[in-house]
Chains A and B, each alone.
Chain A
Amino acid sequence: MAALAAFGEQPSGAGGLRAAARALAGDSWPGFVARRLARLLVSLAVVVTASFAMIHLIPGDPVHAALGPTADPALVAARRHQLGLDRPLPAQYGSFLNNLFHGRLGESIISQTPVSQIVSDRLPATLRLVAPAVVLILLVAVPAGMIAAVLTRDGRRRRGELAFAATTGVLAALPEFLLAVGLIALFAVTWPVFPVAGQSDLSSYVLPVLSLTVVPTASLSRVVRVEALRVLREDYMRTARAKRLPARLVYLRHALPNLLTSSLTIGGMLFTSLLAGTVLVENVFAWPGLGSTIVQAITTKDYPLVQGVVLVYGTFALLITFAVDMAVAAVDPRSTVRGN
């Protein structure tokens, strides 16, 4: 879709032709999108295969491990058959893919409910944490990093720079779950303002979302500041100053788009790790999301469930990376050339 938009910008037929020629040469939008799509598909294949392979990589008999050493051998054999583990590997892989294609992720060993149902029950709760967190991170980190950069550019305000670096450095080094524990100790135990755990009204979101946002915000604002400092040193910023533009235009029109692209590229990694961060935070707050599900599943050796959740997490991570790549390329067409 973005590729089409890029084509639409071409003012004339000649331009379109040239774009097509460049696409053939592999250095513009369509070529770029095609390469990124190919990579996405390969990566998805890796996720699918890895989640399939997981159950076979486990040393010993996974069903025996799941049901415990005292389990009835007949029951184990029945469950093995039910999971298809007694069939040859290629056949298992084939039916795994087939099931996946039809949205079937197998059945939980422990609860005997379809994994797809558990996922669709639990996923919304996780997304309800992630979405506000992403918005908050962007809203706080980009302006904070940029203001810090403008104030400390070219070695101005050494002390302010140190304060910013120290504060964000310490915050960025905090593990989310420790922050979560600290927040509970402060705002749920010492001053009981917010609930300790569980998903209820709006106030129950405050602490989990906060635990998810503080760390990435701190590290993203560091990234933004460094990128902004780099941009502010660029020749074209000198050009903007030479044109005697008002500060508002210098920073918002000339600096911001340039630092957004590079910050987003680096920030993309932050968003995928944010997804993983939910696993820990959900466990601290007993949040009924996918994160607490996968941990329970691992401890109870409910392998089909682990498989399903890994698949969902992996796919989401890949989609986020893909979306960030596309967004960056839309803002800065040069990255389609740089990309590979």
Chain B
Amino acid sequence: MSSLELRGVSVRYGRFTAVRGVDLAVPDGSVTGLVGGSGSGKSTLGKAVVGLAPLTAGRITVDGVDLPRRPGRGPVQLVFQNPYASLDPRLGIGATIAEALPRRKTADPARARDLRVAAGETTGAAAGTTRWTRAERAAEVARYLDLVGIDPARAAQTPDALSGGQRQRVALARALAARPGVLIADEITSALDVSVQGAVLNLLRRLQRELGFALLFISHDLAVIRYLCDQVVVLDGGRVVEAGPAVAVMARPAHEITRTLLSCVPALPVTATRPPTAVPDQEA
């Protein structure tokens, strides 16, 4: 069980301040939505958490423990926006996921099914851990591919054999294989086709509920945030302008920016009573 907490986080590139004094919390097992227009600093904030953007001020903690300032294996993983750029084109998708597996497996076989491994243990330093054998590693990779709905027999294929939605599933599997306590999803559907977006969102929601990681979901679309998130944080010009339970914020937006963002969600003339369509969640 992990919770992410940001206190007074600022990120500056040269003279340009992308994020200024952001406080934000993703409680254990919950989903927090981070919403804002382009240039609001939402992606920068996500990158700062995993050490890909320079932290100029503030603290980022997971379960009260400070995160390292440089990128490295930690309790937080990030899924990138564009699945066409986030997978190494020369590496088989199995090898890509294998790279994410902890260097040592946990001794307790019961834990292998449990991905909620606390931050300290994922570093592999804990006593009673042993190295993976080749077969175990392959089995573990297959398990993660299966988890995101990709045939494990495709482990040897390179990303170019996969569609956009499938690539994003692989990217999700890679992030989960590192057994993060906290997952950051940075606009993970904006590079995908409409018909595929729903499938990826369904998958993310199902995995979050099954595995119980804390999720920071970054998006520009309030409708998606409303659908997926418990809490919402609205960012503008690098500052938090509004935060609160998603339902409450959507119902009574207090800040001008939130209202603008809400008015930008195009409304489909769909009756709420229409039963939702659902087709078995397969290849996307």
Least Cβ distance of B15 to chain A in Å? 5
Inter-chain contacts of A24 with B (CB < 8 A): 15
Inter-chain contacts of A26 with B (CB < 8 A): 14
Interface size class of B (residues with CB under 8 A): under 10
* Chain A 4-25 interface mask (CB, 8 Å, partner B; 1/0): 0000000000000000000011
Instruction: Give A25 to B15 CA distance when docked, in angstroms.
Output: 7
Instruction: Give A24 to B14 CA distance when docked, in angstroms.
Output: 11
User: Which residues does A use to contact B, with CB under 8 Å?
Assistant: 24-26
User: Which residues does B use to contact A, with CB under 8 Å?
Assistant: 14-16
Inter-chain contacts of B14 with A (CB < 8 A): 25-26
Chain B residue nearest to A21 in the complex (CB): B15
Chain A residue nearest to B16 in the complex (CB): A25
Least Cβ distance of B216 to chain A in Å? 30
Least Cβ distance of A111 to chain B in Å? 55
Instruction: Give A26 to B16 CA distance when docked, in angstroms.
Output: 11
Inter-chain contacts of B15 with A (CB < 8 A): 24-25
Least Cβ distance of A197 to chain B in Å? 55
Chain A residue nearest to B15 in the complex (CB): A25
Least Cβ distance of B73 to chain A in Å? 33
A to B CB contacts below 8 Å, 5 in the list: A24-B15, A25-B14, A25-B15, A25-B16, A26-B14
Inter-chain contacts of A25 with B (CB < 8 A): 14-16
Least Cβ distance of A31 to chain B in Å? 12
Inter-chain contacts of B16 with A (CB < 8 A): 25
Least Cβ distance of A182 to chain B in Å? 45
Chain B residue nearest to A24 in the complex (CB): B15
Least Cβ distance of A32 to chain B in Å? 15
Instruction: Give A25 to B14 CA distance when docked, in angstroms.
Output: 8
Instruction: Give A54 to B67 CA distance when docked, in angstroms.
Output: 51
Least Cβ distance of A14 to chain B in Å? 20
Instruction: Give A25 to B13 CA distance when docked, in angstroms.
Output: 11
Least Cβ distance of B178 to chain A in Å? 35
Instruction: Give A25 to B12 CA distance when docked, in angstroms.
Output: 13
Instruction: Give A26 to B14 CA distance when docked, in angstroms.
Output: 10
Least Cβ distance of A27 to chain B in Å? 10
Least Cβ distance of B16 to chain A in Å? 8
Least Cβ distance of A166 to chain B in Å? 32
